[in-house]
A and B are shown apart, each in its own frame.
Chain A
Amino acid sequence: MKKLALASLDKFFETVAASRTLYLPVDTEKGYSEYKKWADGTKLSKALNTLRSAKDFFFPQTENLMDFKLSGKAIEVIDTRSETEDFVVFGVRACDAASFGVLDRVFLQDPVDTYYKNRREHGIIVTMACTKPAETCFCHTFGIDAAAPAGDVSVWETADGYCFEANTEKGEALMNSASSLFEDTDTAAVEEQQAKTREILKKLPLANLTTDGFGRGLTKELFNRPEWQKLSESCLGCGTCTFVCPTCQCYDIRDFDTGNGIKRFRCWDSCMYSDFTKMSAGQPRPTQLERFRQRFMHKLVYFPDNNDGMFSCVGCGRCLARCPISMNIVKVMKTMGGKN
């Protein structure tokens, strides 16, 4: 384990940013934290987490998939892909770091999504352990330890500095590129900080939330439960939950005629929207009940069914904080799950 002096953090950013694009959570004038590209003078946010998740780095909200040139009756397909440059995302929390594992299950499964894979291969994730988990946090429900985040490098903020531990070769290489800033240290300070965080985690309002009653093979038990009606009744279908969710990955593909060729885009989409499944032949999910149920059944049953029991939720709590009518996955789990 290596230690970086408190005062050396900006120097570390400068060193990293000299050879790679560096992104980190920054406080904005809008009153929340969001990932920004590092520039001289950029300060790391003290906020617990960013408003939007870190999924944008690998699965951007909008991306150009390919172009087409049409001339007469002919079509030319233009592959617009290019190799991504190396980049570093600093300050990712344990929940968001775990979300990449969920996204990998979708995008890296055969046939591989090369757009995602390219960014994933070139991205280096530096996580930061939480020190002040919030009342909306429930990552522990999904077996995630906020005090021991994954990623290529894990960082802990302690009383007199930052402790760094590389977890992968990519992480090792990143730390080597700034080796002069580090000194060796033992794990005592980290363990002390972890113990403090875990004490807070134990006292959180959602500390006892479990996944009991959800998981593989439970479609028949849960799908027709009457509770869906009441739970979905007030859902506005706004899609905010989907957009802030680190694991929501449904997408739309649409073409845009620029007047000088066609651009095909991929954009985030949401199963909460009425036109998500609408066809000229019909609509299998005609009301918000079916759409609402789909979102939670997918995260808590269908995804585990298809991914060795892995849930498609990491307990980041963004949907709890952002839903305009205060409906969320925790209410679904408490209403329909086991004893919570």
Chain B
Amino acid sequence: MEKEALIPYVGLITDIRQDTPDVKTFRVVSPNGGKLFEHKPGQCAMLSMPGISEAMISITSSPTNKEFMEFSVKKCGCLSSALHALEPGQMITVRGPYGRNFPVDDEFFGKDFLFVAGGIGLAPLRSVINYIRDKRENYGTIDIVYGSRSMQDLVDYKEIIDEWMKTPGFNVHLTIDNPQPEWDGHVGFVPNYVKELTPDLKKTVVMCGPPIMIKFTLGGLMDLGFSKEQIYTTMELRMKCGIGKCGRCNIGNKYVCKDGPVFRFDQLDELPNEY
């Protein structure tokens, strides 16, 4: 019979990294080796543990990684809790890739960037950031503002310190909500930090994080003189099918699973405020 989008592939978990107290990153390959499928930065996949449920998770690894895919999952619901209980060698199911990606090879080409992330919101941006690192010559300077509740809650901390901070043209600005004895970096919320840094108005901004962070960062950027046409984000709503048919992830006439998850803020302005 012809291919059915709802029937998933089986993926093998080869590695599980405890990123923060409640975030784990799962490395997944095909049982025959190699990646299950190709994707573009910002696209997602439906992960499932049969018997529990299925959910849309962003593919946090860059497509330039040819060996495996990674998914960073925060433990907060049924499926994420089940995934957190797994061990390497376990199989899960994966289907995708789903959604519109960040326009890395079109509008993003040659641009300077400001990435703004809060908590687990870094996960969908990591694929873009590492894509840009791997195709460094195609893009300008990169500023990354990343904040979390505490030092321990910064996802991908090791990669940030060992790789991003050492990449030419990359400026990483980390912040945590409250002071900690072992932390000598910036303390404070992301929106204020972004304002303090007075980013260049030429930059393309890519944001992901909790709604409250998005709201105040967006307001701050508007105050600085940015326009909504240069600010991108990626959305998350409940999904069952991932292909625009089950009917629950729409914002107005757009389905986040297929018309998103990547939107520009001027595009979101055209939609009802129901997310």
The residues of A that contact B246 with a CB separation of less than 8 Å are: 250-253, 269
Q: Does A77 belong to the interface (CB within 8 Å)?
A: yes
Look across to chain B and name the residue whose beta carbon is closest to the beta carbon of A66: B7
Q: Taking A249-B247, A255-B53, A280-B77 as contacts, is the C-beta distance between A111 and B5 under 8 angstroms?
A: yes
Interface-central residue, B9, B53, B241, by most chain A CB under 10 Å? B241
A277, B238: Cβ atoms under 8 Å?
yes
Look across to chain B and name the residue whose beta carbon is closest to the beta carbon of A254: B53
B92, A75: Cβ atoms under 8 Å?
yes
How many chain B residues touch A (CB < 8 A): the figure is 45
B-binding residues in A (CB < 8 A):
65-66, 68, 70, 73-77, 79, 81, 83, 106-107, 109, 111-115, 118, 219, 223-224, 249-255, 257, 262, 264, 266, 269, 271, 276-282, 284-285, 290, 294, 297-298, 301-302, 305-306
A219, B51: Cβ atoms under 8 Å?
no
Q: Does B37 belong to the interface (CB within 8 Å)?
A: no
Q: Is the interface of B mostly helix, strand, loop or mixed?
A: loop
Closest 5 CB pairs of A and B: A250-B247, A280-B77, A68-B50, A305-B253, A302-B253
The residues of B that contact A251 with a CB separation of less than 8 Å are: 240-241, 245-247
Look across to chain B and name the residue whose beta carbon is closest to the beta carbon of A302: B253
Look across to chain A and name the residue whose beta carbon is closest to the beta carbon of B81: A280
Partner of B1, one of A81, A254, A280, A294: A81
The residues of B that contact A114 with a CB separation of less than 8 Å are: 1-4
Look across to chain B and name the residue whose beta carbon is closest to the beta carbon of A250: B247
**Smallest distance from the beta carbon of A3 to chain B beta carbons, Å?**
41
Partner of B274, one of A74, A252, A262, A290: A290
Given A106-B245, A113-B245, 19 more A-B residue pairs with CB atoms under 8 Å apart are A68-B93, A75-B10, A75-B92, A77-B8, A111-B243, A113-B6, A114-B4, A251-B240, A251-B241, A251-B247, A252-B240, A253-B246, A254-B53, A255-B50, A255-B53, A269-B240, A279-B77, A284-B237, A302-B252
A279, B238: Cβ atoms under 8 Å?
yes
CA distance A73 to B50 in the complex (A): 12
B51, A262: Cβ atoms under 8 Å?
yes
Partner of A223, one of B53, B93, B244, B272: B272
The residues of A that contact B274 with a CB separation of less than 8 Å are: 284-285, 290, 294
**Smallest distance from the beta carbon of B81 to chain A beta carbons, Å?**
9
Contacting A at CB under 8 A, from B7-63, are 7-10, 50-54
Counting residue pairs across A and B whose Cβ atoms lie within 8 Å, the total is 122
Interface string of B235-272 (1 = CB under 8 A from A): 01110110111111111110000000000000000011
The residues of A that contact B7 with a CB separation of less than 8 Å are: 65-66, 77, 79
A115, B54: Cβ atoms under 8 Å?
no
The residues of B that contact A76 with a CB separation of less than 8 Å are: 10
The residues of B that contact A81 with a CB separation of less than 8 Å are: 1, 4
B241, A79: Cβ atoms under 8 Å?
no
The residues of A that contact B211 with a CB separation of less than 8 Å are: 282
The residues of B that contact A118 with a CB separation of less than 8 Å are: 1
CA distance A329 to B90 in the complex (A): 49
The residues of B that contact A306 with a CB separation of less than 8 Å are: 253
**Smallest distance from the beta carbon of B187 to chain A beta carbons, Å?**
26
The residues of B that contact A109 with a CB separation of less than 8 Å are: 244-245
Partner of B236, one of A68, A112, A281, A294: A281
**Smallest distance from the beta carbon of B10 to chain A beta carbons, Å?**
5
The residues of A that contact B8 with a CB separation of less than 8 Å are: 77
Q: Does B89 belong to the interface (CB within 8 Å)?
A: yes
**Smallest distance from the beta carbon of B26 to chain A beta carbons, Å?**
13
Interface-central residue, A74, A280, A301, by most chain B CB under 10 Å? A280
The residues of A that contact B77 with a CB separation of less than 8 Å are: 279-280
A264, B50: Cβ atoms under 8 Å?
yes
B92, A250: Cβ atoms under 8 Å?
no
The residues of B that contact A279 with a CB separation of less than 8 Å are: 77, 236-238
Q: Does B216 belong to the interface (CB within 8 Å)?
A: no
A255, B51: Cβ atoms under 8 Å?
yes
Look across to chain B and name the residue whose beta carbon is closest to the beta carbon of A69: B50
CA distance A266 to B237 in the complex (A): 19
